[in-house]
Structure 1
Amino acid sequence: AQHLVALGHKRLAFLAGPEHSASNRQRLAGLEVFREQNPGIELQLLPGGSNFDSGHDSTELVIACGATGILAFNDLVAMGLLSGLH
């Protein structure tokens, strides 16, 4: 998230992972700290998943949210999103 802000992004979104995932909870906790340290940055939490298809299926949601920088739960989700955006 800090890297995206350094690139000039002010509206970010996170494609979350599965609710039961310990990794997802850790990422959300880290993003909460990021939010506290960056009050001028908008951060939306979007439902995601953990695989390529969930990233691909979230394409329209990501476009509609208006974010210019996207964080994904994992690389598979990110690759699916990139495929959908392509």
Structure 2
Amino acid sequence: MPEMIFHIRWPDGAEDHCYSPSTIIGQHLTAGESYPLAEFVSRARAGLTEASDRVESKFGYACSSAMDQLSRIEATASHYAPDAPVICLSLE
């Protein structure tokens, strides 16, 4: 299953490299696009959950790495205002 790294910039300018076990995240995020924080978290949650579901469908178990990544995104997001911008810098 092809994995994907998506690079993001948080509202304070910090950048993160985030992991998805599937390229399906590319249907939820677009490189170069800025999202209000709440929308970004919602899109990341949908994409990473779908990616984990694909792993489970193929291998019989959910992807803990996808869920760990989502937890890190949600924890970091809690430090910013819901409408603060998050930019998806790239999808690789």
Same-fold call, TM cutoff 0.5 = no
Q: What TM-score do you get using the length of structure 2 for normalisation? A: 0.30
Q: What TM-score do you get using the length of structure 1 for normalisation? A: 0.31
Q: Point out the structure with the larger strand share.
A: 2
Q: Point out the structure with the larger helix share.
A: 1
